[in-house]
Amino acid sequence: MAATSRRPIGVAVLGMGNVGTEVVRNLNDKAADLQARVGAPVELRGVAVRDLARPRGAVDSAVLTDDAEALVVRDDIDVVVELIGGIEPPRTLIRTALQAGKSVITANKALMAVHSGELSEAAAASNVDLYFEAAVAGAIPVIRPLTQSLAGDSVNRVAGIVNGTTNYILSEMDETGAAYEDVLAEAVRLGYAEADPTADVEGHDAAAKAAILASIAFHSRVTANDVYCEGISAITADDLVAAKKFDCTVKLLSICERIEADGVEKISARVYPALIPFEHPLATVNGAFNAVVVEAEDAGRLMFYGQGAGGAPTASAVLGDLVMAARNRVNGGRGPLESTYASLPIAPIDDVQTRYYVSMNVADKAGVLEQVAAEFAKRSVSIAAVRQEGAGESARLIVVTHRASDRDQSETVAAIEKMDSVIKVSSVLRLEGTND
């Protein structure tokens, strides 16, 4: 057993945005609690910022520096907390810190979704911690439950609402009936969406989190490029109204699933807006909240719910990681690092079994439904429900299918788009959270 030491733990924080500010405040305000929980004092010894001239509130100017490279290798630093965001310079800074024997905490999902492999290897080589609870679902404990609490179980599926911006937009559209563009503009104005909302609304942020969740759930390396991704920018107010008629709402889901295709066990990781039934636990997760449902062989279905973003909630996750990393500096040992022994291959979206919701503008004449139904039948895609609405030029046909391969479903839609009697396929969404 490692000998215990009571020397103080030196902390460096990189970045003083919302989260960084909260972390620094807590290190100060909760110093006595943190010391009691770690078993040694936890001292903030350096904060790297871009602009030294900018006032930083309560932070002692002596700890401020604009030289992050020098800070992360300093002898008096034990743990580095990276809150800059983006790939570089965080990637280089974290790797350098790990190689110098520092433990690292990061909230950087974009980085961990692509470079967790090399960073985890660097952590293993130095026998230090690399924690990233704050990278997925803010304050909600998800990474630690998956990597530790479920370490003896076999996870089959993780499905979550892990992007607050898109969930706010869809919740607002659902409640008010407003158009996507109007709700988005309002969200930007209120600060719920960034000025450039692309990463959120196109699903890239949710895809990065799906990659991280899939990697840890299935003990395999899954990167952001492996995740099939559709955003919410094509969702219309009509879709939300139509969803209600099928007792469903629409949510942007990050889904990680263990599937079997052609007799091979594979991982599907995907992000798309999907209809889910009102009674599904994720249906009532509204606004900026996040939730993650985990299905494991022995544990069954678990759900984790809470605030997925914001300075204080994210700082809570960072500080939890920080206490655990600091404890390990005191007591010896380290938490689990990347585990990729299962090395399952990635399934293309074609292999995934899903249900489709297809909304189309059709010619208002007899026989259209029959022709459309024939295209589904041709590819053995079974229809679960049909609605016909309107008349004349606004005649609309909505088809909801049973489960079939995404390949067969998408080929059917492509064929329908070519039909003379179909004016336009206006919307194609998937339906999740049912057993049919």
Active site residues: 209
Q: Which of 40, 235, 250, 296 binds a second copy (CB under 8 A)?
A: 296
Stretch that binds a second copy, among 22-30, 252-260, 404-412, 421-429 (CB under 8 A): 22-30
> Least separation, in Å, of the C-beta of 163 and a second copy?
18
* CB neighbour list of residue 64: distance below 8 Å, 6 or more residues apart: 46, 47, 49, 52, 56
246 part of the interface to a second copy, by CB under 8 A: no
User: Taking Cα atoms as reference points, which of 410, 423, 420 lies closest to residue 360?
Assistant: 423
| 3-class state of residue 28 by DSSP | helix
Residue 396 and residue 146: Cα distance in Å, rounded? 44
Q: Which of 219, 244, 402, 403 binds a second copy (CB under 8 A)?
A: 219
> Least separation, in Å, of the C-beta of 144 and a second copy?
5
> Least separation, in Å, of the C-beta of 24 and a second copy?
13
Q: Which of residues 302-341 bind a second copy (CB under 8 A)?
A: 302-307, 312-313, 315-324, 327-328, 331-334, 336, 339, 341
Residue 122 and residue 102: Cα distance in Å, rounded? 10
Stretch that binds a second copy, among 69-77, 186-194, 266-274, 291-299 (CB under 8 A): 291-299
Which lies closer to a second copy via its Cβ, residue 151 or residue 264? 151
* CB neighbour list of residue 53: distance below 8 Å, 6 or more residues apart: none
How do 103-106 and 130-131 pair as beta strands? parallel
Specify whether the backbone of 329 is left (phi greater than 0), alpha (psi in -120 to 50) or beta.
Answer: alpha
> Least separation, in Å, of the C-beta of 131 and a second copy?
10
> Least separation, in Å, of the C-beta of 39 and a second copy?
10
31 half-sphere exposure, CB direction, 13 A CA radius: 12
* CB neighbour list of residue 29: distance below 8 Å, 6 or more residues apart: none
- Residues at the interface with a second copy (CB under 8 A): 1-2, 22, 26, 30, 33-34, 36-37, 127, 133, 139-141, 144-145, 148-154, 219, 281, 296-307, 312-313, 315-324, 327-328, 331-334, 336, 339, 341-342
